[in-house]
Amino acid sequence: GVPLFERTTRSVTLTTVGRVFARSAEQLLDDLDVALLGIRDISSSRLGHVTIACVPSVAYYFLPNLIANYHRRFPRIRVKLLDAS
């Protein structure tokens, strides 16, 4: 219920409350940008490992291309294969 703008037929300006609110809103948006950039940085430098248990025939015939593609996409994640005959 507090006016943020003063309007005339020729101009629109911020009220005193509007200027205070604008500074707060800008700070909130800056903080949001920093948070989103941080998430992007973390997701682009994923670390970890994946373990796959399978029979040897699957490991031999199907997994080499799959693992190669996965490694290109996520080079910092290690893949471990387990023989689960």
Span 53-85, pLDDT tens digits: 998 888 888 899 999 998 888 888 889 998 887
Q: Are 63 and 34 in the same domain?
A: no
Q: Are residues 39 and 57 in the same domain?
A: no
The pTM (predicted TM-score) of the whole model is 0.46
The range of the structural domain enclosing residue 22 comes to 5-43
Q: What is the pLDDT of residue 5?
A: 95
Same structural domain, 69 and 39:
no
Q: Any residues with CB less than 8 A from the CB of 50 and at least 6 apart, and which?
A: 70, 77, 78, 79, 80
Contact at 8 Å (CB) between 70 and 42? no
Question: Do the beta carbons of residue 80 and residue 52 sit within 8 Å?
Answer: yes
* 21 band by pLDDT with thresholds 50, 70 and 90: very high
Pair (9, 32) in one structural domain:
yes
Using alpha carbons, list the distances in angstroms from residue 13 to 1, 32, 80: 17, 26, 63
Give the helix/strand (H/E) hosting 65.
helix 63-73
The per-residue pLDDT of the chain, averaged, comes to 87
pLDDT on residue 11: 95
